[in-house]
Amino acid sequence: MDNPKFTVPVLARLKFIRTMVMQKLGDSKKLTEPETYNYSSEEAEYGPFKKNNRDNSGNKLIFGGAYDPEFSEEEKKIFIKEFNSLTPENYMKWGMLLKNNRLGEYDFSNLEKIESFASENGLNIRGHALIWGKVPGMGYPVDLYEKVLSDLNPRKRMIEIMDNHISIIINRCRGSVSEWDVVNEPFELSGSKFDVNPFYRILGLDYIKQSFWTARSIDPDAILVLNEQFDDYKGTRINRFLDLIDRMLEEHVPLDRIGVQSHILFTKPAIHDLYNFLKQLQERGLQFEITEFDIRIGLFIRSDDPFMVQANYIKDFCQVCRDFPNFRGITFWSQFDSRNWMDNSMPFSLLSPNAPGLFDTLYRKKPAYIAVASSLLNKQ
Ligand code: XIL
């Protein structure tokens, strides 16, 4: 199976160029990992979350990371020790489950490796993602649009193909996956427009509702999640997102939980904006989960101790989440600085240092880890 390249849409590119120009001076400062980090030996013992994963009301909290079966033995060891949940970084995406990334036969060999790793080590699996309209060949089959368009009734054909995929995957993973990102990123990466992907082109917004209804009909007990990226938590994008949720709820679409990705790449959002957004989710009776957290250390590079300032921001972020009774957990997308998606994806690879992880390049716990552990385990 090929690994299709991730490319960023034009608006996000422009935003990136602006940020790069603005930050270049600061960013080009070199990041040096210290000999020792500034936390106590008691703090160093915080976690692991396997044993400590309940909030004050007894709800199980997810503490997870993005997982790749290609992780080294050392990375796997840390993963098993520290986390209680994994999200397959790429291998559960529709295109990646198909031979040659095209409609037709599935190849579950990577998924099988992930499932064994999870079951052998008592890890939850987040199903990511059934329907994702980005990255042709990865998010969806590379030939999907052309196949659907060549049909006399493209609308009907699209629904058949989507329903078929959703049912094959949910049925296949019954027992190993109880939570699904049913639709991932209905909005463009940046701005407040819906992503004009093949699903939207053929079905309009119905593709979102359709996917949730199909998922629910196949597994009535699964937790169904709408997952979206925000780079701040206010403004038109948030309002449009809340409008979308309201429409779904009005139409009784089976939406259980909101996945708030939280890749923090360009500027750091104000914590009170995060609070206001989460409050709106709570008012709608929806659970939420931070599903893909990572924050570039480049945003703090001008400070004396970027590792500490990064950690302090993460601590504030986690504390706000934790205090909501509808919070269900947090998953990191780049837990290891030694391998993180930003260093390998344009344009972020040019924005180094990224160092968004909880463990540094020598696999030592960063202050960021202590920050998460202390806030989620209520140790102030
Ligand atoms: C990213 C992976 O981390 C990369 O390896 C891949 O090249 C592209 O996808 N939002 C999502 C994730 O929902 O699936 C994306 O993951 C990052 C943005």
Q: Are 144 and 198 in contact (CB under 8 A)?
A: yes
CA trace torsion 44, 272, 248, 219 (10° rounding): 10
Question: Residue 25: is its pLDDT beyond 50?
Answer: no
Residue nearest to atom 6 of ligand 1 (CA): 6
Residue 347, pLDDT score: 80
Q: CA geometry: angle at 68 spanning 131 and 370, to 5°?
A: 105
Residues 121-161 have pLDDT tens digits of 999 999 999 999 999 999 999 999 999 999 999 999 999 99
Residue 313, pLDDT score: 97
Residue nearest to atom 12 of ligand 1 (CA): 89
Residue nearest to atom 7 of ligand 1 (CA): 6
Residues 161-170 have pLDDT tens digits of 999 999 999 9
Question: Residue 297: is its pLDDT beyond 80?
Answer: yes
Query: Chain centroid to CA 233: how far?
Result: 16
Nearest-angstrom CA–CA distance, 84 and 107:
26
Q: Are 139 and 95 in contact (CB under 8 A)?
A: yes
Tokens 């080294």 correspond to: 72
Residue nearest to atom 8 of ligand 1 (CA): 6
Nearest-angstrom CA–CA distance, 324 and 132:
28
Give the pairing type, strands 263-264 and 287-295.
parallel
Residue 337, pLDDT score: 96
Q: Residues enclosing ligand 1, CB less than 6 A?
A: 6, 89-90, 135, 184-185, 229, 261, 292, 341, 345
More confident call, 347 vs 322: 322
What mean pLDDT is reported for the chain? 92
Q: State the first-to-last Cα distance of the chain, in angstroms, to the nearest integer.
A: 47
Q: Predicted confidence band at 60 (pLDDT cuts at 50, 70, 90)?
A: confident
Residues 247-279 have pLDDT tens digits of 999 999 999 999 999 999 989 999 999 999 999
For the chain, give the percent of residues with pLDDT over 70.
Answer: 91
Nearest-angstrom CA–CA distance, 357 and 368:
8
CB atoms under 10 Å from CB of 153, counted, come to: 10
Residue 90, pLDDT score: 97
Nearest-angstrom CA–CA distance, 66 and 85:
9
Q: Predicted confidence band at 346 (pLDDT cuts at 50, 70, 90)?
A: confident
Q: Are 23 and 300 in contact (CB under 8 A)?
A: no
- DSSP one-letter string for 74-90: HHHHHHHHH-SEEEESS
Tell which one of 1, 5, 6 to mutate to probe ligand 1, the residue whose CB is within 8 A of the most ligand atoms. 6
Residue 19, pLDDT score: 65
Question: Residue 28: is its pLDDT beyond 80?
Answer: no
Of 369, 370, 348, 306, residue with least CA distance to 65 = 369
More confident call, 342 vs 217: 217
Element (H, E) at 331: strand 327-332
Question: Residue 380: is its pLDDT beyond 60?
Answer: no
Residues 203-251 have pLDDT tens digits of 999 999 999 999 999 999 999 999 999 989 999 999 999 999 999 999 9
Residues 90-122 have pLDDT tens digits of 999 999 999 999 999 999 999 999 999 999 999
Non-local CB neighbours of 201 within 8 Å, separated by 6+ positions: 145
Tell which one of 1, 87, 89 to mutate to probe ligand 1, the residue whose CB is within 8 A of the most ligand atoms. 89
